[in-house]
Structure 1
Amino acid sequence: MPQVKLNVRLLEVTQDALSLIYAAARQCYSSKFAAEIFDDKQEKPSKKATLIKELVKAGHESPLEHAKFTFAIEGISRSLSHQLVRHRIASFSQQSQRYVKVEKFNFIIPPSIESDEILKDEFLRIMNEIQKSYNKLLERFKQKNIVGQKAKEDARFVLPQAIETKIVVTMNCRELLHFFKLRCNKAAQWEIRELANQMRAICRKHLPEVFS
């Protein structure tokens, strides 16, 4: 039952996202075919970057929806994932407690508990008791010939919000800007703010014209 840390990895980003967003934006105001604009090698990257920065500044963000980022995320709690999936203009594939047995589950400890030995000891004790209860439920189900998915989907009811989950998240650039505005904010809950800050750093590295 180890404590785990946040890990965010970029799986995929739209190839030549700069040219894609530029072509989509130009299509709104040009008689030319977007494919021609996209394929035009004479267009300088600096010109594309300038236009995209102006789009973001002006709030004309619909062209940004054509480019997307896909992240693999681990070391987050179910408490965080419940917040994350409220951002519905996105795609999510989350580790299922119906199919994945968690006989030795990982968990996240909030900093306010981590920094206090008394609170931390109590937290760890509770995690250990929950683990024992979960395992006892599975064992009892097994004695009653209830196994597999049916056993896990009912035993999971005792699992805590602190339990670690893993998830794949895909968001387009417009939704990412909205996500960062809300979740990088100081008012956001600490765990999802940490996630959002790491995701934003990755986005800025790959597409600074939009995210910087």
Structure 2
Amino acid sequence: MKIIAPSHEILSEIDGAKMLRNIELCGRVCYKSEDRITDGSAEKFVGMILKSGHESVLEHEKITVRFICDRGVTHEIVRHRIASYSQESTRYCNYSKDKFGNEITFIRPFFWAEDEEKYAVWKNTMQEIENAYGKLISLGAKPEEARSILPNSVKTELVVTMNLREWRHFFRLRTSERAHPQMREVALPLLCELKGLVPVIFDDINGADASY
């Protein structure tokens, strides 16, 4: 059994300034003001777009991210309909094989300290599940059958592509204090990183401190 923390990886090669220039070019078609494009006009234009609520223009740019998290979190992510998803399949992945180190990887629930009894109960349960999964496979069960005992805590990988408008929607919902704490655990660091890579687009979304 392996226990890891969740993480994310931005798969897109991001040039934030280039993104803004493309959004400006697309957006100015609406006003037929392409002649007003200058070297420094994109940030101001996109800021105006956001302020006016004309966010459909943001759909011309997209970002792809790989989340490594528990399956419970992915159930929330995939509720965002305007997106493309590719997810590690428990139907086809046989975690008893050498490819996976002959073990199941679980995501550590950060809200329990490792010296708490609650964490011990969780960890012991995950070990029992891994043992039972291996037993089912040894008895001839297919991975798609043995997966029926896997919990939300099992690690999964989910590749997500959203346009910038949908990423804004995602962050407004998933960094809110009302969001599930494990959802915020992956959404807040991503928001922080994207703010540093893409000017203007996410500046008005104020997630809480991303440290846990």
Closer, same or farther in 2 for the Cα pair 1:132/1:115, shift >3 Å?
closer
Cα deviations by residue, 1:151-194 (Å, 9 ceiling, x for unpaired): 00010000111000011111110001111111110110011112
**Distance in structure 1 (CA, Å) of the matches to 2:174 and 2:6:** 16
Partner of 2:192 in structure 1?
Answer: 201
Partner of 1:102 in structure 2?
Answer: 95
8 Å contact from structure 1 (residues 14, 67) kept in 2: no
| 1:4 CA drift (Å) | 0.7
8 Å contact from structure 2 (residues 59, 165) kept in 1: yes
Partner of 2:206 in structure 1?
Answer: none
Q: Does 1:113 align with 2:115?
A: no
Q: Does 1:57 align with 2:54?
A: no
Structure 1 counterpart of 2:122, which letter? Answer: F
Which structure 2 residue ranges, 5 or more long, are not aligned? 97-102, 204-212
**Distance in structure 2 (CA, Å) of the matches to 1:132 and 1:110:** 20
Cα deviations by residue, 1:88-115 (Å, 9 ceiling, x for unpaired): 1111100001111123111123233335
8 Å contact from structure 1 (residues 10, 202) kept in 2: no
Structure 2 counterpart of 1:101, which letter? Answer: N
Partner of 1:175 in structure 2?
Answer: 166
Partner of 2:139 in structure 1?
Answer: 140
Partner of 1:11 in structure 2?
Answer: 11
Closer, same or farther in 2 for the Cα pair 1:157/1:183, shift >3 Å?
same
The structure with more radius of gyration: 1
| 1:13 CA drift (Å) | 4.6
Closer, same or farther in 2 for the Cα pair 1:45/1:13, shift >3 Å?
farther
Higher-helix-fraction structure: 1
Cα deviations by residue, 1:61-85 (Å, 9 ceiling, x for unpaired): 01100101111222x1000001110
1:189 aligned residue (169, 176, 180): 180
8 Å contact from structure 1 (residues 4, 106) kept in 2: yes
**Distance in structure 2 (CA, Å) of the matches to 1:114 and 1:159:** 23
| 1:46 CA drift (Å) | 2.5
Secondary structure of the structure 1 residue equivalent to 2:40: helix
**Distance in structure 2 (CA, Å) of the matches to 1:14 and 1:199:** 13
Say what the alpha-carbon RMSD is for the aligned residues: 1.8
* Alignment length (residue pairs): 195
| 1:51 CA drift (Å) | 0.8
**Distance in structure 2 (CA, Å) of the matches to 1:131 and 1:19:** 50
Structure 1 counterpart of 2:83, which letter? Answer: A
8 Å contact from structure 1 (residues 5, 108) kept in 2: yes
TM-score with structure 1 setting the length: 0.86
Q: 1:12-91 alignment to 2 at 5 Å?
A: 12-13=12-13, 16-30=18-32, 37=34, 43-74=37-68, 76-91=69-84
**Distance in structure 2 (CA, Å) of the matches to 1:210 and 1:46:** 16
- Percent identity, aligned pairs only, is 34
Q: Does 1:126 align with 2:120?
A: no
8 Å contact from structure 1 (residues 184, 193) kept in 2: yes
Cα deviations by residue, 1:108-145 (Å, 9 ceiling, x for unpaired): 2323333552111111111111111111111111xxxx
**Distance in structure 2 (CA, Å) of the matches to 1:116 and 1:92:** 36
